[in-house]
Amino acid sequence: MKDEPRAHPLRASRQDVTTADRVPDTAQTRAPAYRLAFADTEFLTREELRPVRLQLELLKPQMLLDEAGIASTVVLFGGARIPDPVHRAAARTQELAGLSVYYDEARRFARAMTTRSLAAGGSDHVICTGGGPGVMEAGNRGAAEAGGRSIGLNIVLPHEQAPNPYVTPDLSFNFHYFAIRKMHFLMRARAVCIFPGGFGTLDEMFESLTLIQTRRMAPMPFLLFGRAWWERMINWQGLAEAGVIAEADLGLFRFVETADEAMAAIDGWAA
């Protein structure tokens, strides 16, 4: 005798939401206290429910990425203001316009990495970005040009940040908590690529390096695009000479200039 098919575990909850909306309209049914707790937005956004919201924000992308078969990622961090070379004339500074070369390199790198990923089944080394403009757009764009999927981890900001049009729609996520978003950047990462950028890029870079330095995250290919840029912005050797980091910590990352160099560095990486 065959087992009876099991009902979907969420079906009853969904049915109850619908059923609850069909009750008679009375003072009691209109009261906020009567709403089902899991369907009550006002309740879920209360200060006391922060631990629940943190858990939900961790679980939703995790479950959907699992269901999509995403086993590992290659993460691209970089400036949202770096323009596509086609639009470099509109950049706010001449130097920002010059950084448009990294839009092209991010696009080429993502296209090459996605082509390789697809050849191996498409579940590993999937491109993951912050989902916005600039370098993020370039990464998702390159993946789309190769015919593959890519992930976008957007976040709600005071100035609206909409997903760029190249993110795979079913892998386009939105976050409230920076901390949970950062976890999702790194939980599946097998390589991290850092392009020139501002506070957000620097924050993501140093947090990732700290996790590797302290062995909270396994060593992996960690590439900084543009040696001249990074050595002008950060005195890496000075940090080591001052003793605030170890000389060996300078080996946690490598400089590259082009997509081809990045692919070669990943292939030749020895942890």
Q: What are 21-61's pLDDT values in tens digits? A: 778 889 988 899 988 898 899 999 999 999 999 999 999 99
- pLDDT band of residue 71 (cuts 50, 70, 90) is very high
- Taking the model in full, what pTM does it have? 0.90
- What is the pLDDT at residue 1? 47
Closest CA to 201 of 212, 192, 189: 192
Measuring CA to CA, how many Å separate 258 from each of 87, 137, 231?
21, 17, 17
Tell the residue number behind the tokens 């890029």, with chain if given. 201
Average pLDDT over residues 159-186: 94
Is 2.40.10.220 the CATH classification of the domain at 53-264? no
Average pLDDT over residues 143-168: 93
8 Å CB contact between 191 and 222:
yes
Interhelix angle 50-67/178-187, nearest 10 degrees = 30
